[in-house]
Amino acid sequence: MTVALCALSHSPLFGIANPGAETLAQVNAGLDRLRSFVRAFDPELTIVFGPDHFNGVFYDMMPAFCIGRAATSVGDWGTTAGPLPVDRQAAGCLTEAVLRSGVDVAQSERLHVDHGITQPIEFLFGKSSTQPLVPIFINAVGLPLGPMQRVRLLGDAVGREIARWQRRVLLVASGGLSHDPPVPRMAEAPPEVAARLIDGRNPSSEARAIRQQRVIEASRAHAAGSGNFREVNPVFDQKTLDLLASGDLEQFDAWTNAWIEAEGGHSGHEIRSWVAAFSALRAAGPYRVTDRGYWPVREWMTGFAMASAQLKAHS
């Protein structure tokens, strides 16, 4: 049994908004290191923990967690649309293991995922990858949200299950860190937006283009110092990264949703993917972080981070 982890932020503005030559070079160098780490590990299965941004999962039925036994990429923000190479048997085993642990998790036979899951996979494996995977959706934008302890326990259940397998399993966490992009919120939404948040499946290409252009315009305004979006919070981001590296993941249990939002922005809840993945790794054994990078990128409206980790027994 061997387990390793890659965690990285995603951004729909990657490749669109220019953060400057130096930052872009550093981010790309970090991604190259992650890709080298993955090639050396040579995973037989990849488990991806990631959110959705009202592109695949909606308020008609909003689970806290959902494991896909089959999944399709919606193809937003330049990601490849179409079916993903999901390992159905592994996904089913994980669902049963999480339920046995006492954590409620949904299972989907047609999980629709957006760039929150597909972008990191394309970063690490390239477009149209055939790498077997299991997508695990973690709600980070559809309020109300459950407590952080449940996220940690979900990851712990996944990790204890894969520790039984004789397979090289790569855990991928996608999201965060601090950011406050223009994701609509149900409580503030006008009727037409609320209707889309309840069931916005299969938008026209024109409707998707309009939505994406709004995000691009918001990022430009934010980079220019205007707009009402919160700034990236490096203090929150480094605190998150330090705690993940320490392995003392129970400390996240005390992080309330209100505090995370106040410190990390409305989409700071995406750190849930990182907590779940690191919890899964820790359940497989003591670990150490082998690489870590962080950039507060105003042009992408996010604290962009990445990390790799492996079990100490295999260091």
Looking at residue 236, what DSSP letter applies? H
Cβ-proximal residues to 115 (8 Å cutoff; 6+ apart), any chain: 10, 12, 53, 55, 76, 77, 79
Helix (H, G, I), strand (E, B) or coil at 15: coil
Residues with active-site annotation = 115, 179
Tokens of 271: 């750190």
Residue type, 17: A
Beta-strand runs (E) in 15-159: 45-50, 65-68, 71-73, 82-83, 106-108, 111-113, 133-138
308 touches 315 (CB < 8 A): no
Tokens of 231: 């700034």
Helix (H, G, I), strand (E, B) or coil at 310: strand
In whole angstroms, what is the distance from residue 227 CA to residue 128 CA?
A: 37
In whole angstroms, what is the distance from residue 110 CA to residue 28 CA?
A: 33
Cβ-proximal residues to 293 (8 Å cutoff; 6+ apart), any chain: 26, 27, 30, 305, 306, 307
